[in-house]
Amino acid sequence: MITTNPFDDDKLREECGIFGVSRAETASAIVALGLHALQHRGQEAAGITSWDGHDFHTHRAMGHVAGNFDRDEVIRGLPGDTACGHVRYSTTGETSLRNVQPLYAELNSGGFAIAHNGNISNAMKLRRELIRRGSIFQSTSDTEVIIHLVATSSYRTLLDKFIDALKQVEGAYSLIVMTPEGMIACRDPLGIRPLVMGTLGETTIFASETVALDVVGADYVRTIDPGELVIVTNDGQIRSHRPFGDTHPRPCIFEHVYFSRPDSIIDNSSVYSVRKAIGAQLAIENPVEADYVIPVPDSGVPAAIGYAQQSSIPFELGIIRSHYIGRTFIQPGDKVRHLGVKLKHNANRALIKGKRIVLIDDSIVRGTTSLKIVQMMREAGAAEVHMRIASPPTKHSCFYGVDTPERTKLLAHKLDVGGMQDFIHADSLSFISIDGLYKALGEAKRADIRPQYCDACFTGDYPTTLTDQDDVVVTNQLELLAERVV
């Protein structure tokens, strides 16, 4: 039986990554390189669509970019000077090839390809309405709703049809769209999901993170503003549209904590430097006497460096991670499954035996990983095991493009900090405060009205309506009421 790695099922999934190139001689090859740099944002599937001036060409596959897009024959099958790509972890819709993006459709105006990072929180309601009006869906992805809204819009121009569609959707989206007229890149009015713009000579590039620009040798130009549409025509003209008027941005705070690569830049701030600042603030708020500060690799490393520097406790690698294990491996039984944990992480026994250690991790989701790590440290002879987390407790589900477990499966929803400490068998457990997290990001504190970030996974303060979730709640209540009546 092939099962998900037990360490991977206790992390918030990294949503998706998108990358687009306009006016490049080898557009699809550049997109493939960009997707390599964004692989951490989605590892289930990848796809690239290109435009050669006459026809659209698409190659989509399950699995990683490597192995699917590093063959010459694949790139040769994606000709043209314009292309966009997508790496996916499914947040809505089943895991199957029909949901792999970019999605493509032939509209009245011509071909339409779309790559989406985020989640449409009223997609189910819109889908039902569109089906009643005669739309036929080819996937279970929420992204396809946008295509049908564009196709059925009564507006005249393609741009107006697209804007009309966006004004009907709720939730989070960063989009790259390709049409015969050119490329469109846009973000939702709150800017929940990231999107940046760069240049490589005369080529314009859009990407989820700046690290993807670095990898292809492009220069970072700027962030696409929340609610902004940037259009690049086939002859290289660039226009900006802001159909949503004034916006009050609330970008995802977890990009700084975990999702983005540490070598990326978000809103002119180094992700690596921010994570070190989070670790330092964590040390100020939650000090402990210990011999070593040890990161849970790899996501806990920058915060652990910051904690160690602030606390003057030595930073050491007490857990060694193997980089040669994939996301899946064979686990024929519970005993082997338990032993399989050490294929990915193993204790540096000679270092930690008899020592008091502080483990630094980015978050606790279900708690199973933290439990196994603490147990590993104790089996290796640690005298004390203290856990410090570089984010507040994750108490709420995300509906904006992050695949979180049901709220009832979140450890922080079920238990207070003391209960969580007992569950993972640590000598102590502490989290950074929500105001401390904002302070590490350069804010005085979290604003009570219109907070500076989307932090709903910590606070439950969702910045948009959640139509589909509200419909589910109402339906469940009606079903319960009907059962009582019977």
In sequence order, which residues have a C-beta less than 8 Å from that of residue 282 and are 6 or more positions away? Answer: 303, 306, 307, 360, 388, 389, 390, 430, 432, 436
Spatial separation of the C-alpha atoms in residues 366 and 17, rounded to whole Å: 24
> Which of 16, 84, 252, 454 is the catalytic position?
16
* Catalytic residue flag (residue 398): no
Enumerate the domain spans of the chain: 2-251, 265-459
β-bridge mates for residue 23, sequence order: none
**Residues 6 or more apart in contact with residue 67 via CB below 8 angstroms:** none
327: enclosing H helix or E strand: none
Q: How far apart are CA 130 and CA 98, in angstroms?
A: 19
The confidence score (pLDDT) of residue 92 equals: 55
> What stretches of 301-391 show up as alpha helix (H) in DSSP?
301-311, 334-344, 349-352, 368-379
Nearest partner of 224 among 205, 202, 252, 246, judged by Cα: 205
- 281 touches 444 (CB < 8 A): no
The alpha helices in 92-209, defined as continuous H runs, are 123-132, 143-152, 158-166
Per-residue burial over 100-127, b if 16 or more Cβ lie within 10 Å, else e, is bbbbbeebeeebbbbbbbbbbbbbbbbb
The CATH H-level (homologous superfamily) assignment of domain 2-251 is Aminohydrolase, N-terminal nucleophile (Ntn) domain (3.60.20.10)
For the chain, list residues with pLDDT below 70: 1-14, 90-95, 324-343, 471-486
Rounded-to-integer distance, Cα 99 and Cα 31, Å: 19
Q: Does domain 265-459 have CATH number 3.40.50.2020?
A: yes
The phi and psi torsions of 61 (rounded to 5 degrees) equal -155, 150
What pLDDT shows up at residue 402? 83
User: What is the structure's pLDDT at 446?
Assistant: 97
